[in-house]
Amino acid sequence: MDGMNSLTLPASPLVQPAYVLPPARFVRAKGWPWTHLLRMRNDPLALMRDGAKHGADVVQLDFGFTPAFVLYSPDAVHRALVPGDAVWKGTRGAKLMRRVLGPGLLTTEGVAWKARRKRAQPRFRSEALKSMPGIVQRHSDQLVERWLADPAHAGVGVDAMAGFSRLALAVVCDVLFGVDPGEDAAVVHQALEQVLSGFLRLMTSPIEGLDQWPLPASRRHRAAVAALDAVVARLIVRRRAAGPLEGDLLADWIVAADAGEMSVEDLHAEVVTMLLAGHETTANAMTFTLALLGSHPAELAAVQAGLDVGDTGPLDRAFAEGLRLYPPAWVMARATSEPLDLGPVTAPAGAFLFIPIAAIQRDPRWWRDADAFVPGRFLDLDPASKAAYMPFGLGPRKCIGEHFARAEARIALATVLRQFDVQAVVPAANPSITLRPLGAVPVRLTPRASAGGQPGRCAHKWAPTS
């Protein structure tokens, strides 16, 4: 293959190479057959991060019979995602996801996807989201009240992940569906937990379609998918009963289904897709950002000082930096439908492509002080870093909810931070379909009196820091 270079980095910085090698633009990662597929099963984040150590633009992994390429340079990512017509969501993970979500906006292709995007897009325009700030504010005030009522808030701390998950689900249901999830919120959280915890094993199993087998883990997975579908059915019934079918996305879909423009299966797929894609990612991002601020007193003080004078700039930059260090959609995957020129190498048709946003956004080639929490870098991002920043994806399949998520996080975090000083330890990152905190995320809250502290930097590895 042209441009191929199988050199790896010297094992120790003490070993000086006799001459300086040009950067290896394409590397075939070494390992026993199937090694990388196994590692994808056990430690996918480390697999993707270690590939970045080659300093290459594209790294080929051994995934058994299917050629698999990991794209580390913004140029290679751009070539794959921006034209977008030589790739599709045809990996095993994507097929498994389609069996969870059904044929909705996230999982369909071509004309079917275009029609879905066109139908949903108007509800994400700023005019359509005019009532959103009031709704998010109301849910954020309720969150703060619940936290204040919890005696743990000044002691061991409240669980930020649980609080933000509940808030984000309520916001999606309220803004996009015009209903309150009520007790179904707990059903959604439990089912999602089950799907996410088993997903990697099902996806990397040697047997494709293991989720359809009569095995205990597969049964639990299918039961969780069925529970989600039952919630969707109840939400639709509740929305029909709530009043005229106008003014929100769920109403649009129900009207289209009643008119025969959408099947019942499509309606369910759209609702469950938005329900899950629209809340878990945002909850993860808010949680990591709050934990980062809770462990960086000077950055916290800067955010609070901004909020005191009505400037959300420092908060927006802290959220952007949280998304850089812990991107909730941490890896995107595609399959090639035709040969695709990635720059240093051409991927054949039928290859898998991985775009590890989490590794690209910490690659020292594009980021100074890559592992440190430095929100100020977003005041003046240089072009190389800008190209390497993609928490909401790239190209035609870019996230439809980017502005929704940013607006929600701004209001919810501002509500918490205006009122409290926070102390937290950044949790370990747990990779599944999304990158989420491992376990509960205790955050200690004290009514604001003495924000401040010494500026300091610490490296945010993928493990807990103190």
Q: Which stretch binds ligand HEM (CB under 6 A): 27-35, 237-245, 271-279, 344-352?
A: 271-279
Sheet containing 332-336, strands listed edge to edge, beginning at the edge strand earlier in sequence: 26-28, 58-63, 66-71, 352-355, 332-336, 87-88
Toward ligand HEM, which CB reaches closer, 274 or 412? 274
Toward ligand HEM, which CB reaches closer, 27 or 231? 231
Structure tokens at 460: 């945010």
Q: Which stretch binds ligand HEM (CB under 6 A): 53-61, 195-203, 273-281, 299-307?
A: 273-281
Toward ligand HEM, which CB reaches closer, 218 or 281? 281
Q: Which of 179, 191, 274, 318 binds ligand HEM (CB under 6 A)?
A: 274
From residue 459, alpha-carbon distances to 292, 298, 371, 455 in Å are 11, 15, 5, 14
The minimum distance between CB 456 and ligand HEM, in angstroms, equals: 26
Query: CA 463 to CA 426: how far, in whole Å?
Result: 8
Query: CA 409 to CA 390: how far, in whole Å?
Result: 17
From residue 379, alpha-carbon distances to 350, 387, 405 in Å are 41, 15, 20
CA Rg, the chain, in Å? 22
**Binding residues for ligand HEM restricted to 346-405, rule: CB under 6 A:** 391-393, 397, 399-401, 404-405
Query: Can you spell out the DSSP letters for 377-412?
Result: GGGS--HHHHHT--TT--GGG--TTHHHHHHHHHHH
Q: Which stretch binds ligand HEM (CB under 6 A): 14-22, 59-67, 281-289, 309-317?
A: 281-289
The minimum distance between CB 327 and ligand HEM, in angstroms, equals: 6
Q: Which of 278, 314, 322, 442 binds ligand HEM (CB under 6 A)?
A: 278
Which of these, 123, 115, 400, 117, lies nearest to 261 by C-alpha position?
Answer: 115
Query: CA 159 to CA 146: how far, in whole Å?
Result: 11
Give yes or no for residue 281 binding ligand HEM (CB under 6 A).
yes
**Binding residues for ligand HEM restricted to 114-153, rule: CB under 6 A:** 117
The minimum distance between CB 42 and ligand HEM, in angstroms, equals: 23
The minimum distance between CB 170 and ligand HEM, in angstroms, equals: 13
Toward ligand HEM, which CB reaches closer, 158 or 405? 405
**Binding residues for ligand HEM restricted to 15-74, rule: CB under 6 A:** none
- Which pairing describes strands 435-437 and 429-431: parallel, antiparallel, or unpaired? antiparallel
- Which string of x and - marks every residue 315-334 that binds ligand HEM (by CB under 6 A)? ------------xxx--x--
**C-alpha 39, offset from chain centre:** 21
Are 107 and 273 spatial neighbours (Cβ–Cβ below 8 Å)? yes
The minimum distance between CB 389 and ligand HEM, in angstroms, equals: 12
Query: CA 180 to CA 386: how far, in whole Å?
Result: 38
Are 360 and 390 spatial neighbours (Cβ–Cβ below 8 Å)? yes
The minimum distance between CB 230 and ligand HEM, in angstroms, equals: 21
- Which string of x and - marks every residue 160-179 that binds ligand HEM (by CB under 6 A)? ------------x-------
Mark out the alpha helices in 208-345 (DSSP H runs).
216-241, 249-258, 264-277, 280-294, 297-308, 313-325
Give yes or no for residue 100 binding ligand HEM (CB under 6 A).
no
The minimum distance between CB 270 and ligand HEM, in angstroms, equals: 9
Structure tokens at 237: 């019934």
The minimum distance between CB 403 and ligand HEM, in angstroms, equals: 9
Give yes or no for residue 188 binding ligand HEM (CB under 6 A).
no
Give yes or no for residue 285 binding ligand HEM (CB under 6 A).
yes
The minimum distance between CB 173 and ligand HEM, in angstroms, equals: 11
Structure tokens at 180: 């309150």
Residue nearest to ligand HEM (CB): 401
What is the total count of residues that contact ligand HEM (CB under 6 A)?
24
Q: Which of 61, 68, 105, 417 binds ligand HEM (CB under 6 A)?
A: 105
The minimum distance between CB 285 and ligand HEM, in angstroms, equals: 4
Q: Which residues pair with 67 in a beta bridge?
A: 62
The minimum distance between CB 7 and ligand HEM, in angstroms, equals: 31
Toward ligand HEM, which CB reaches closer, 25 or 436? 436
Reduced to 3 states (helix: H, G, I; strand: E, B; else coil), residue 82 is coil
The minimum distance between CB 334 and ligand HEM, in angstroms, equals: 7
Query: CA 274 to CA 247: how far, in whole Å?
Result: 16
Q: Which residues pair with 261 in a beta bridge?
A: none
Which of these, 89, 459, 40, lies nearest to 273 by C-alpha position?
Answer: 89
Structure tokens at 158: 């409240």
- Which pairing describes strands 66-71 and 58-63: parallel, antiparallel, or unpaired? antiparallel
Q: CA torsion 193→196→201→205, rounded to 10°?
A: 130
- Write out the residues near ligand HEM by the rule CB under 6 A: 105-106, 117, 172, 273-274, 277-278, 281-282, 285, 327-329, 332, 391-393, 397, 399-401, 404-405
